[in-house]
């Protein structure tokens, strides 16, 4: 689907489907290509005459967040996040002073919000292509917050699990699932933060004072999100290590108790084995107190070893 918004030289905002349907010379032109067909993709080359490499980046290959500078326009790749799958959705932007083309293979609520914001502006005379791009970028970044907050809440909820009868195996599995989600969103947010920082510090495009303030606002949000993600990852790592250590501690205690039992029964088994041998010339076999004596010796050995282990604080 293609939709076109343009502002003519009289600062009148007009909307049509295709840029071919414009009825006047635009001062500013915004073409949004959402879920475009193969035929609609031809607009990039036949109408706008964009460089084949930038068209290939937008149409064929999923790119990481970046920008490229061409002769008469800049090409940006932004990543939004799908509301249901948490997977990144690519939004490509072709932009110069008079033209901006947003290209995305999935429907984008972030672009819709920017579109509606431009339509509702009372004064169109000061709208620029950079404003449109920054509105879209701000909407993308703001949409990260629900996911980041949700993951942070899940991390904090682990503190309440100590009083719940849940196996360590289940908790470890949930922790690893949570870390996987954090890694997934980190792969989206961190490159976006690097891209915005390059826009702020570099001389890629000329920005007004108001636009720089707006871009600083976007960058601050990304910095906050990255810090929250890194903090959550550290907390999940601590949770994972704590539960693994707890599980190892429990296992060591079990092994210690079993080892003590085994050590206690080793001399008793030896005695029982000796007097279980079938030899006629064993004098204790014909002694009338032999049975009682063996039991006394075995009991003394047992309690003596228990007392020794207690003294050593082995259990």
Percent helix, strand and coil across the chain, each to the nearest 5? 60, 15, 25
Supply the pTM of this predicted model.
0.73
Q: What is the pLDDT of residue 200?
A: 80
Closest CA to 223 of 250, 200, 256: 200
Q: Give 167's contacts (C-beta < 8 A, 6+ positions apart).
A: none
* Predicted confidence (pLDDT) at residue 64 exceeds the cutoff of 70: yes
The two tokens of residue 91 are 């939004």
- Give the pLDDT of residue 243: 76
Quickly state the pLDDT bin for 165 (edges 50, 70, 90): low
DSSP 129-150: HHHHHHHHHHHHHHTTHHHHHH
pLDDT at position 102: 92
Pairing status of strand 26-34 against strand 99-104: parallel
Tell whether the model's pLDDT for residue 298 goes beyond 90. Answer: no
pLDDT at residue number 93: 92
pLDDT tens for each residue of 91-128: 999 998 889 999 998 888 888 888 888 888 877 777 88
Average pLDDT, the chain: 83
Quick one: pLDDT at residue 94?
Answer: 93
Instruction: Give the mean pLDDT of 76-80.
Output: 90
What does the pLDDT read at residue 205? 66
Query: Any idea which of 40-49, 64-73, 133-142, 165-174 has the lowest mean pLDDT?
Result: 165-174
Q: Is residue 162 over pLDDT 60?
A: no
Question: Alpha-carbon distance 7 to 16, whole Å?
Answer: 11
Please give the pLDDT value at position 184.
83
Tell me the domains of the chain and their CATH numbers.
Answer: 1-120 (3.30.460.20), 254-311 (1.20.58.340)
Residue 164: is its pLDDT beyond 60?
no
State the Cα–Cα distance between residues 198 and 187, nearest whole angstrom. 17
Q: How far apart are CA 215 and CA 197, in angstroms?
A: 9
d(CA 131, CA 292): 99
pLDDT (tens digit per residue) in 212-252: 888 888 889 999 988 888 888 888 887 777 777 777 888 88
Share of the chain above pLDDT 70, in %: 94
- pLDDT tens profile 263-287: 888 988 888 888 888 777 777 777 7
Per-residue model confidence (pLDDT) at position 202: 67
Rounded-to-integer distance, Cα 113 and Cα 119, Å? 10
Once rounded to an integer, what is the mean pLDDT over residues 4-14? 84
Nearest to 144 by CA among 79, 100, 201: 79
- Between CA 23 and CA 90, with CA 115 as vertex, the angle to 5 degrees is 115
57 and 63 Cβ atoms separated by less than 8 Å = yes
Compare 263 and 23 and report the one with higher pLDDT. Answer: 263
């Amino acid at each position: 689907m293609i939709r076109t918004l343009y502002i003519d030289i009289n600062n009148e905002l007009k909307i049509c489907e295709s840029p071919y349907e414009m009825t006047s010379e635009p001062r500013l032109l915004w073409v949004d290509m959402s879920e475009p067909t193969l035929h609609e993709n031809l607009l990039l080359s036949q109408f706008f005459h964009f460089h084949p490499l930038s068209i290939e980046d937008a149409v064929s290959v999923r790119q990481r967040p970046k920008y490229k500078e061409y002769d008469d326009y800049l090409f940006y790749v932004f990543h939004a996040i799908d509301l249901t799958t948490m997977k990144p959705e690519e939004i490509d932007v072709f932009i110069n002073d008079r033209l901006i083309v947003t290209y995305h293979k999935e429907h984008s609520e972030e672009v819709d919000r920017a579109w509606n914001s431009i339509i509702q502006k009372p004064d169109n005379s000061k709208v620029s292509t950079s404003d449109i791009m920054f509105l879209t970028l701000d909407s993308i970044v703001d949409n990260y917050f629900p996911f980041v907050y949700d993951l942070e809440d899940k991390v904090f909820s682990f503190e309440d699990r100590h009083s719940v009868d849940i196996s360590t195996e289940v908790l470890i599995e949930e922790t690893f699932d949570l870390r996987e989600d954090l890694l997934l969103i980190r792969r989206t947010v961190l490159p976006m933060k690097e891209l915005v920082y390059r826009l702020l510090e570099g001389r890629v495009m000329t920005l007004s004072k108001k636009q720089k303030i707006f871009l600083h606002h976007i960058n601050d949000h990304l910095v906050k999100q990255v810090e929250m993600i890194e903090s959550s990852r550290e907390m999940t790592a601590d949770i994972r290590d704590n539960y693994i250590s707890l599980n190892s501690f429990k296992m060591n205690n079990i092994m210690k108790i079993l080892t003590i039992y085994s050590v206690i029964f080793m001399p008793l088994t030896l005695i029982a084995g000796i007097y279980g041998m079938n030899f006629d010339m064993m004098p204790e076999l014909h002694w009338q107190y032999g049975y009682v004596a063996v039991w006394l010796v075995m009991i003394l050995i047992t309690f003596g070893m228990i007392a020794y282990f207690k003294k050593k604080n082995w259990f």
